[in-house]
Amino acid sequence: MAEHDIPRATAKRLPIYYRYLKLLLDAGTTRVSSNELSDAVKFDAATIRRDFSYFGALGKRGYGYDVKALMTFFGEILNQDTLASVALVGVGNLGQALLNFNFHQSSNARISAAFDINEDIVNTIQAGVPVYSLDDLEKQISDQRIDVAILTVPAPVAQDLANRLAKAGVHGILNFTPLRLDVPSDVRVQNVDLTNELQTLLYFINNFGGAEA
Amino acid sequence: MAEHDIPRATAKRLPIYYRYLKLLLDAGTTRVSSNELSDAVKFDAATIRRDFSYFGALGKRGYGYDVKALMTFFGEILNQDTLASVALVGVGNLGQALLNFNFHQSSNARISAAFDINEDIVNTIQAGVPVYSLDDLEKQISDQRIDVAILTVPAPVAQDLANRLAKAGVHGILNFTPLRLDVPSDVRVQNVDLTNELQTLLYFINNFGGAEA
DNA sequence: GCCCTTATGTGAACTAAATAACAATTGTTT
DNA sequence: AAACAATTGTTATTTAGTTCACATAAGGGC
């Protein structure tokens, strides 16, 4: 596994590159330079070239990168050929919105099961996704070989559910809860803290000028 | 403005500290150490101490930090006394969810106006927030002295709306669009890219083990 | 009031990431 | 086929952030 020495920061940018390359390809563009990419995704051109170089020499000097080849390459790295099944835990406002969000359209993931305690929606289909009782969490996760969960539950029950998810064999949690979860070391947590994003933005605005945060 | 030399990374953690301190205070805790905080928020204790030290000597050696004093202090830094008015641009699935999200409860921000083109909801109240036509964007932003916008519109119109928002005097945009926006240098953009978060999580899971991303 | 324990605040070391700068190489034009 | 223009890949540099490690100071017990 040669990808082991790819910097975290680079890994986080890969999906962004991939998405933009797809756009270019759809628009019929065949070649692109690091400078053009830089304009679009707002990372320094040198950063982009370095990111790419971790995977070998993907471009041609004096020419740039071949859009299709590059996209195919990143597609493989991002496992675009295999569809990941994702569980949505907590079908409240945000959960509902994420069900409708349709990750599938723009990524290799699909929400294939949702869980809640609300009897009104348990055993219904929401936005094409079956909603199960939380009691069935472990069974469904295992049956459907789900290894990523999106956690959109109230804070007080978040840690408990994280424990159950981890025990059930989930390897990643996209955590919309304000809580910083405790998980075993083989589970990866990605925090999406909306209040924090907004607060941080406000802080920067109040204390400094503009520019990217 | 002494805060000018506070690292970006520190600034991003401030709201997290603040929230956790509030929790502690509500629970009646009067003192806390960097180690206890570390357990809760999952940043290294040394990082926490250094973060705090940018604002002076807030703790007592051998004792720790006074929860109430610390919270008050951070509250001021985060401008918790002034309520920021926020506009929500785009009342789709995600927009609706954010309207119900109630930032107000846990932060100093409140969505005070929403905008959409959908005639069915224009001039209605959604989750307590008036929905205006996009035609009124400039006027309302100016009248209500809104300086932050949450952008939850389809990608194709995102840049155009960002332009209008910037021109209307907004200083910050919380961008839920996959597009990397072009804005004047006095406007700050905070990107929340849900697809990217999920994709990144998947990449890490597929290529390495667990731990924080 | 003295000793011991605890936990801060910070200088120094380390690690990660971004940027600059340019030689090397390719395509294109004449 | 030679000269030119463009753009990569990478070495070196700079910047940012994290962590270590410990002297310093405060509180609490005896």
SS3 assignment, position A149: strand
Interior CA angle at A13 toward B184 and A205, to 5°? 35
Q: Does at least one atom of strand C sit less than 7 Å from the CB of B52? A: yes
pLDDT over 90 at B212, yes or no: no
CA–chain centroid gap for B83, Å, is: 13
Q: Is A95 among the annotated ligand-binding positions?
A: yes
Question: Which of B1, B198, B211 comes nearest A107 by C-beta?
Answer: B198
Which of B174, B189, B193 has its CA nearest to residue A209? B189
CA closest to B10 among chain A residues: A200
What is the distance, to the nearest Å, from the Cα of residue B104 to the centroid of all Cα atoms in its chain?
Answer: 11
- Provide the pLDDT for residue B209: 62
Residue B114: helix, strand or coil by DSSP?
strand
Residue B213 has pLDDT above 60, yes or no: no
* Mean pLDDT, rounded, for A48-52: 97
Task: Note the pLDDT tens digit of each residue in B59-86.
Answer: 999 999 999 999 999 999 999 989 999 9
Question: Given a cut of 80, is residue A130 above it in pLDDT?
Answer: yes
Contact B195 A106 (CB under 8 A): yes
Contacts (Cβ under 8 Å, ≥6 apart) of A88: A95, A98, A99, A111, A113, A114, A115, A129, A149, A150, A152
The pLDDT, as a whole number, for residue B179 is 95
* pLDDT tens, residue by residue, A61-115: 999 999 999 999 999 999 898 999 999 999 999 999 999 998 888 789 999 999 9
Q: Is the CB of B49 under 7 A from strand C?
A: yes
- Closest Cα of chain B to A136: distance in Å? 24
| pLDDT value for B104 | 80
Q: Give the pLDDT score at B105.
A: 79
d(CA A148, CA A146): 6
Which of the pair, A57 or A88, is modelled with greater confidence? Answer: A88
CA dihedral A85, A118, B127, B120 (to 10 degrees): 70
Helix axes A8-26, A45-53, angle to 10 degrees: 100
CA distance B59 to chain A (A): 23
**pLDDT confidence of residue B1:** 41
pLDDT at A1: 40
- Do the annotations mark residue A179 as ligand-binding? no
pLDDT of residue B211: 53
pLDDT bucket at B210, cuts 50 / 70 / 90: low
Instruction: Tell me: pLDDT of A29 over 50.
Output: yes
For A194 and D27, how far is CA from C1' in angstroms? 40
Band the pLDDT of A177: cuts 50, 70, 90: very high
Which is nearest to B190 in space by CA: A42, A97, A39? A42
Q: What is the value of pTM for the model shown?
A: 0.93
Beta carbons of B52 and B7 less than 8 angstroms apart: no
3-state secondary structure of B133: strand
Q: What is the pLDDT of residue B147?
A: 92
Q: Evaluate whether B55 touches B61 at the Cβ level (below 8 Å).
A: no
Instruction: Give the chain A residue nearest B16 (alpha carbons).
Output: A196
User: In order of start, what are the domains of chain A with their CATH numbers?
Assistant: 8-77 (1.10.10.10), 84-196 (3.40.50.720)
For the segment A124-133, the average pLDDT, to the nearest whole number, is 97
pLDDT digits (tens, 9 = 90+) for A1-22: 455 689 999 999 999 999 999 9
Residue A211 pLDDT class (50, 70, 90 cuts): low
* Per-residue pLDDT reduced to its tens digit, B88-104: 999 999 999 999 998 88
Helices A93-101 and B93-101, interaxial angle, to 10°?
Answer: 160
Residue A9 contacts B where some CB pair is shorter than 8 Å: no
- Any bridge partners for residue A150, and if so which? A88, A174
Mutation site, A88, A103, A198, interface B, largest B CB count within 10 A: A198
Q: Compute the average pLDDT of residues A13-36.
A: 95
